[in-house]
């Protein structure tokens, strides 16, 4: 009998070149002694049907995927089943492909984000939160913030496309209590001077020469400024935050926590502290190399 092909995992998105997930997962596979490889899959929208179609082929070596910008919402339509959290959020960032070649969707971004907030010592209860962006990652963050017991006082959210923002808020409202969400007509309506936490969930900042969406003067020392982007490690948004005396965090911690959960789903074991350390270290090294 021919040898089974080496299992392949990877991340789909566009762009994906900046992703540190290969460094994190390949280091973990090596440490676990798992003969598998994690790759980048840069896919254009027109390639998605073909790519997902081939995943059902019994000869496909792909055992699991991460999904990043801009496909976290779109990828839901290719799933055979999903966890209750994913069902409520309707954005997927981790896919497990079973032996029967069924695609099972998980959202590990949402718990990953919350775990990083805990590390940062930020409790969301009764806080005023401002969010930039209404894409797949905003969906996960907004959804989970509406569901947790540590309920924020308010979540004001602004997006370039009003249509997409309104669609997101009205869709989430069909599956959870979104009473704390206030769609903002403009950045001024976010009331950043009165906020405790400001989160950038847009992809603006991925390129080093990207402008910043907000005026520096709105930032203040009692604000935690969180950018989901982790590569570059310090976007213009975070540089501005530091200049204004605000606490600033990039999304590396979120990436780490969501990655630990994703890997646990793929290999079906609880990772011990040694493997987690290796993953964290691979991320730090990848970012500074």
Spot the catalytic one: 72, 127, 128, 156: 72
What is the secondary structure of 124-186 as a DSSP string? -TT-EEEEE--SHHHHHHHHHHHHSSS--SEEEEE-S-HHHHHHHHHHHTTTS--TTEEE-SS
39 flagged as catalytic: no
Q: Note whether 72 binds ligand NDP by CB under 6 A.
A: yes
Single out the residue of 66, 94, 107, 159 in contact with ligand NDP (rule: CB under 6 A): 159
Q: Note whether 229 binds ligand NDP by CB under 6 A.
A: yes
Cα-flanking dihedrals φ and ψ of residue 266, to 5°? -70, -45
Ramachandran class of 14: left when φ > 0, alpha when ψ lies in -120 to 50, beta otherwise: beta
Beta bridge partners of 81: 104
Comparison of 52 and 230: residue with beta carbon closer to ligand NDP: 230
Place of tokens 């762009």: 15
Structure tokens at 145: 């913030």
Instruction: Tally Cβ neighbours within 10 Å of residue 15.
Output: 14
The Cα 12–Cα 25 span in angstroms is 14
- Among 116, 94, 114, CA closest to 105: 94
The Cα 269–Cα 238 span in angstroms is 36
| Pair 204, 211: CB distance under 8 Å | yes
CB of 160 to ligand NDP, least distance (A): 3
| Pair 38, 32: CB distance under 8 Å | no
Single out the residue of 107, 178, 201, 235 in contact with ligand NDP (rule: CB under 6 A): 201
Which residues, in sequence order, are CB contacts of 196 under 8 Å at separation 6+? 127, 128, 129, 222, 223, 224
The interface mask with ligand NDP, positions 101-120, x = CB under 6 A, is --------x-----------
Q: Determine the residue with CB nearest ligand NDP.
A: 135
Query: Looking at 43-51, 127-135, 178-186, 218-226, which segment touches ligand NDP (CB under 6 A)?
Result: 127-135
CB of 116 to ligand NDP, least distance (A): 8
The interface mask with ligand NDP, positions 246-285, x = CB under 6 A, is -----x--xx--x---------------------------
CB of 260 to ligand NDP, least distance (A): 11
Comparison of 124 and 159: residue with beta carbon closer to ligand NDP: 159
Single out the residue of 137, 172, 241, 280 in contact with ligand NDP (rule: CB under 6 A): 137
Comparison of 7 and 13: residue with beta carbon closer to ligand NDP: 13
Structure tokens at 231: 């590569």
The interface mask with ligand NDP, positions 23-42, x = CB under 6 A, is --------------------
Using CB under 6 A, list all residues that contact ligand NDP: 68-70, 72, 109, 133-138, 159-161, 164, 201-204, 206, 213, 228-230, 251, 254-255, 258
User: So which residues are the catalytic ones?
Assistant: 72
């Amino acid at each position: 009998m021919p040898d089974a092909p080496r299992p392949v995992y990877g991340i789909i998105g566009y762009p994906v070149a900046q992703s540190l997930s290969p460094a994190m997962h390949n280091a973990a596979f090596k440490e676990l002694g798992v003969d598998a490889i994690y790759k980048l899959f840069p896919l254009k929208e027109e390639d998605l049907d073909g790519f997902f179609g081939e995943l059902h082929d019994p000869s496909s070596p792909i055992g699991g995927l991460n999904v990043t910008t801009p496909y976290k919402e779109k990828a839901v339509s290719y799933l055979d089943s999903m966890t209750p959290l994913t069902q409520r959020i309707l954005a997927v960032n981790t896919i497990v492909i079973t032996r029967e070649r069924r695609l099972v969707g998980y959202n590990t971004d949402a718990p990953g984000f919350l775990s990083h907030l805990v590390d940062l010592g930020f409790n969301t209860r009764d806080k005023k939160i401002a969010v930039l962006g209404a894409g797949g990652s905003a969906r996960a963050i907004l959804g989970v913030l509406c569901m947790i017991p540590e309920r924020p006082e308010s979540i004001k959210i602004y997006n370039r496309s009003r249509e997409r923002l309104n669609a997101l808020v009205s869709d989430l409202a069909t599956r959870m209590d979104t009473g704390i969400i206030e769609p903002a007509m403009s950045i001024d309506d976010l009331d950043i001077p009165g906020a405790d936490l400001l989160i950038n969930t847009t992809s603006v900042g991925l390129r080093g020469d990207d402008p910043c969406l907000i005026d520096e003067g709105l930032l203040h020392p009692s604000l935690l400024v969180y950018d989901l982007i982790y590569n570059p490690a310090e976007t213009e948004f975070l540089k501005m935050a530091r200049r204004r005396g605000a606490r600033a965090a990039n999304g590396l911690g979120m990436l780490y926590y969501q990655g630990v959960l994703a890997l646990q789903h793929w290999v079906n074991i609880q990772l011990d502290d040694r493997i987690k350390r290796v993953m964290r270290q691979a991320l730090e090294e990848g970012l500074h190399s």
